[in-house]
Amino acid sequence: MNKILNYLLSGFFVYIVVVACSDSPESAPEPDRKPVITILGDNPVTVALNSEYIDAGATASDSEEGDITNRIVVVNSVNTSELGTYTVTYTVENNIGQSATEVRTVNVVNNSAPVITLEGPSIVTVPLGEPYVEFGATAYDAEDGDISANIVIDSSGVDTSVVGNYYVYYNVKDSSGIAAQEVTRDVVVTSTELF
Ligand SMILES: [Ca+2]
Ligand SMILES: [Ca+2]
């Protein structure tokens, strides 16, 4: 009996919440929603003084209009020749004039970026069906020294069961959060057929 009462009460409660939360009880059309910007890469991001700042960009979508990334307007104030904190501002507007804005913070610091060096050849040929064997890489940072152990190797795109050209990506950051320029290795999977 208590169970049934509880059940009825909880149902009633849910009903009250639903009614209280819905500002348009009659099935009015969903209001057109604002676009949404998604910043790619780190935010905030730390870059070395006098280095080249390459912005990782952003994407924009609108629930009614889909992908509107190509309409993003970027204002990039980053000056890597001067220490400081800068911003990259992304703004997008949808077809009915609703806009969205996101801001990335970029810290330019007096600290150098690490450098990645590949071990082994930069182009590796793998016979179809054979495993890809990783040669590895080393990373050196002027402030931190050898940070090879921190390299993140992404070979997830390599499929040696299909003939083709693939890439392995090598990335590392120093203790200040400064990323090395990404290094790639080309993996060529070739057919073993003989003619
Ligand atoms: Ca919309
Ligand atoms: Ca460093």
Closest among 47, 57, 102 to 78, alpha carbons compared = 47
* Amino acid letter, 23: D
Cα separation of 51 and 19, whole Å?
A: 57
Distance of CA 101 from the midpoint of ligand 1 (Å): 14
The ligand that comes nearest to the alpha carbon of residue 47 is: 2
Q: What is the pLDDT of residue 31?
A: 72
Bridge partners of 67, per DSSP, are 61
Residue 50 belongs to a domain with what CATH number?
2.60.40.10
The ligand that comes nearest to the alpha carbon of residue 63 is: 1
Q: Where are the beta strands (DSSP E) in the chain?
A: 36-39, 45-48, 58-62, 66-67, 73-76, 84-93, 99-109, 115-118, 123-127, 137-141, 145-146, 152-154, 164-171, 183-190
Distance of CA 81 from the midpoint of ligand 2 (Å): 16
The ligand that comes nearest to the alpha carbon of residue 32 is: 1
Q: Which 3 state secondary structure label does DSSP give 24?
A: coil
Same domain, 148 and 104: no
Residues 6+ apart with CB under 8 A from 167: 157, 158, 184, 185, 186, 187
Residue-by-residue pLDDT tens, the chain, 195 positions: 455 545 545 554 444 444 444 554 566 666 778 999 999 999 999 999 999 999 999 999 999 999 999 999 999 999 999 999 999 999 999 999 999 999 999 999 999 999 999 999 999 999 999 999 999 999 999 999 999 999 999 999 999 999 999 999 999 999 999 999 999 999 999 997 655
The ligand that comes nearest to the alpha carbon of residue 95 is: 1
Q: What is the pTM of this model?
A: 0.72
Q: Is 144 inside any structural domain?
A: yes
Q: What's the total number of domains in the chain?
A: 2
Strands 66-67 and 73-76: unpaired
Q: What is the pLDDT of residue 2?
A: 57
Q: What is the pLDDT of residue 85?
A: 98
Q: Among residues 76, 109, 142, which one ends one of the domains? A: 109
Q: What is the pLDDT of residue 17?
A: 45
Distance of CA 11 from the midpoint of ligand 2 (Å): 60
Cα separation of 116 and 106, whole Å?
A: 22
Q: Among residues 109, 127, 145, which one ends one of the domains? A: 109
